[in-house]
Amino acid sequence: MPSDADRRLLAPLWDFCLAHIGVDTLGHPLFFVVAVITTVLVAGAAFSFVDVFITKKVPLKATALYLAITLPGYLLVFVALNYLPIAFRFDVPREAPTLLSFAGNLVVCMLVGDVLSYWWHRLEHGSPFVFRHVHYVHHNVSSPLSVWSGFYVHPVESFCVFVTFYIYPFVMQVHPLVFVTYAALNTFITMVTHCGYDMRLYPNWLFASAPMHEHHHGRRKPSNFSVLLNFSDRIFGTYTPYQEPVRAE
């Protein structure tokens, strides 16, 4: 049984959310998208600054083009989140999750999201029809990749990847704290996967990484399909270690 101390660890944060965000907003079925948008803006700005002004890997015009492609879609979602009527809202718990429950549910969300997105990615490469009509858009991105490369996808792929990532926490109605944490972590990892840098302190033994994904984009017969964890690539036999780092920070 969780101790009282365990129950109280996340209580101040959850009480703050209830008081300042409100039950109506927290119960919105797309509330987690706020975490996605925030992560995209913060991580995108940080990596873009490095790309343009420090490593000079990506020209400013190219970065502006990626932003012009990426941000309008998120703006539309944000408008929908705030102004469009919805048919239902999730029940919002009054109590914070225990630390054990929070961690356990977060791990399950990560594992399920990794497996589902992995098999969707395998289908994109395994089906000539799906690759020619959908996934080819993403593979038109040239190497080295940038943090915005992951958003350069066909609308069908964008929708399907979104579903594979979030169908489990959505259907299971995990605690909103778990959901927004997973959404932020998921978004950050997939951006790092496409950032084009070999970050030495990044735990690439656990998470998908830029060198792994550069390897995927650079091979005629691709491997390293995971963009979240290394779990699915390892258990399904498609994990390939990279030989040389992409670029060190």
- Give the list of residues 6+ apart from residue 211 with CB closer than 8 angstroms, or none: 198, 204, 242, 244, 245, 246
Residue 45 forms part of a structural domain:
yes
Could you report the per-residue pLDDT of 14-63, keeping only the tens digit for each?
999 999 999 998 999 989 998 998 999 899 999 999 999 999 888 888 88
Residue 93 forms part of a structural domain:
yes
- Looking at the structure of the chain, the number of domains it has is 1
Could you report the per-residue pLDDT of 220-231, keeping only the tens digit for each?
778 999 999 999
Residue 155 forms part of a structural domain:
yes
Which range of residues forms the domain containing residue 18?
Answer: 14-235
pTM score, whole prediction: 0.91
Q: How far apart are the first and last CA of the chain?
A: 44
Residue 249 forms part of a structural domain:
no
- Judge whether 130 and 236 are in contact, CB under 8 Å: no
Instruction: Give the distance, in angstroms, between the CA of residue 44 and the centroid of all CA atoms in the same chain.
Output: 12
Could you report the per-residue pLDDT of 139-183, keeping only the tens digit for each?
988 766 788 888 889 999 999 999 999 999 999 999 999 999 999
